[in-house]
């Protein structure tokens, strides 16, 4: 991989130092990146947020470097409803050829098309109180005809409506 420097930005120009009433020069912090095997420009010079996107203080706000680069490459005014979307699915990538403007819905559609949506079914759902094993037990208990929704709900500390949804496969449909 080759080490490169990409852009320096206008906000890194000299600024007035009010204390000394003179000029003070700020050294620009260039955005540095390396080129990966799949032609991603992986940013190595700036901190990344929790999702892995490199950030930079620019025009008075902290924003993603991907968005800054896209604004420089495509200077059409874009409001905040537009996002910088990555065709490479690599949040650290700042290659302008891998970036395009899109809406939140465009980003969601990309995620679904590429199979990157998180599995939030059953036990993987944050609010789930039951396991797949318990769901199978609930269905088996009801199938015997010896237990009502009310009785099963008491056993599993759940609601009658929740047990009904499980038995009729309105919820937990992915469990056999």
Of the listed ranges 19-23, 119-123, 125-129, the least confidently predicted one is 19-23
Identify the band that residue 149 occupies on the pLDDT scale cut at 50, 70 and 90.
very high
Segments in the chain forming alpha helices (H): 65-73, 104-113, 132-143, 149-155, 160-167
The more confidently predicted of residues 175 and 28 is 175
Q: Is 89 helix (H, G, I), strand (E, B) or coil?
A: coil
The domains located in the chain, with CATH, are 3-113 (3.90.75), 122-167 (1.10.10)
2 half-sphere exposure, CB direction, 13 A CA radius: 6
Identify the band that residue 119 occupies on the pLDDT scale cut at 50, 70 and 90.
low
pLDDT for res 8: 42
The two three-digit tokens of residue 31, written as one number:
């955005």
16 half-sphere exposure, CB direction, 13 A CA radius: 2
pLDDT, one tens digit per residue, over 39-77 is 999 988 889 999 999 998 877 788 889 988 888 888 766
Main-chain dihedrals φ then ψ at residue 107, nearest 5 degrees: -65, -40
């Amino acid at each position: 991989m080759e080490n490169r420097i990409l852009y320096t930005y206008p906000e890194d120009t000299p600024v007035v130092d009010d204390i000394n009433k003179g000029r003070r020069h700020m050294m620009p912090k260039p955005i540095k990146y390396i080129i990966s095997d799949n032609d991603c420009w992986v940013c190595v010079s700036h901190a990344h947020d929790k999702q892995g996107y490199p950030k930079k203080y620019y025009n008075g706000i902290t924003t993603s470097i991907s968005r800054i680069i896209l604004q420089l490459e495509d200077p059409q005014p874009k409001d905040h409803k537009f996002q910088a979307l990555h065709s490479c699915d690599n949040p650290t990538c700042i290659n302008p050829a891998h970036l395009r403007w899109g809406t939140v819905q465009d980003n969601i559609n990309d995620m679904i098309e590429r199979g990157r949506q998180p599995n939030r079914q059953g036990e993987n759902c944050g609010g789930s109180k039951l396991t797949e094993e318990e769901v199978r037990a609930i269905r088996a208990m009801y199938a015997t005809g010896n237990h009502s929704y009310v009785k099963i709900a008491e056993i599993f500390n759940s609601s009658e409506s929740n047990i009904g949804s499980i038995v009729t496969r309105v919820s937990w449909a992915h469990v056999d």
